[in-house]
Amino acid sequence: MLTKRTFALAAIFGAAFWGCQQSGGKLDDAERWATDFVANFQQIMPQVPLLQSQKSNMLDEKEAYAVQQQVIDKFRASGEKMIGYKLGLTGKVRPFGAPEPVYGQLWSSMQLAQSDTVRLSHFVQAMVEVELAFYFADDVDYPVAPEQLRKAVAAVAPAIELPDLAFSSMENLSYLDLIAANVGARHLIVGEKQPISNVDINALQVRIAHNGALAGQGSASAVMGDQWSALAFLAEKLHARDKKIKAGEVVLTGTMTAMSPAKVGRYDADFGELGSLYFWCKP
């Protein structure tokens, strides 16, 4: 018997019929796409990439973020509470044709506890990213000097982000699709916070193991060459859209290791002086 999970995995690897079922023809209305995306996201169904659905009306970055905002507004209307932001594509190599990093928004229902079991059936295509979570005590007004940015951060914590590549096809996927789809935000696990003054952020080395075998390793400085530069970049991009990081919000700065598909089993992540995190993935 075919399950939703079977269809979802088939779609990710190019099952064209599913995209046809989802698209219902050309989607030339961004609001309709956003409505469909939210409905599919909540039902764990793959979504046709935005640019594939609007081939005669290619979007630019500004328009893609406008679509993302429609997605966020629809989640807020359903009762979701926004808690912060996530950065993506912050490494030296940026896939999907991205000229620079991208950002999305996080909400409270995405948070999982370290002891929680992650169900892969709750994703279209779950991925694993090893990140840092920065908690802000003050608003960040742009332009912001480095010392002001550091003072605005109250604490830092180890984090695992579990994004979802929830598309019906990965062929020719663009960074604009990722922007519109809120950069794949689905779930995150955050460990114990530490005062930012206690940690040499960019010196952190991280490792993640799956069932005891090394699955990835990296350093905090791999994120745009400097974690503080990543936060400043986000502040600048938000300012350009009349937004800002606010007191009480959290920011995930991007993966420090290669993003990898989530698999059944136990994951253990070592963040050096920041401590460790573990979680289980089950079907």
Q: pTM for the whole thing?
A: 0.89
Whichever domain contains 112, its CATH number is: 3.90.850.10
Residue 39 inside a domain? The answer is no
What's the CA gap between 97 and 57, in Å, rounded?
A: 18
Structural domain for 158, as ranges: 81-282
SS3 265: strand
Identify whether 59 is part of a domain: no
- Does residue 156 lie within any of the structural domains? yes
The token duo for 136 is 């802000």
Which of 221, 256, 226 lies closest to 128 in space, CA to CA? 256
Domain count of the fold of the chain? 1
pLDDT in tens, the chain (283 residues): 434 443 333 333 333 323 333 334 334 578 899 999 999 999 999 999 998 887 656 689 999 999 999 999 999 999 999 999 999 999 999 999 999 999 999 999 999 998 789 999 999 999 999 999 999 999 999 999 999 999 999 999 999 999 999 999 999 999 999 999 999 999 999 999 999 998 999 999 999 999 999 999 999 999 999 999 999 999 999 999 999 999 999 999 999 999 999 999 999 999 999 999 999 999 9
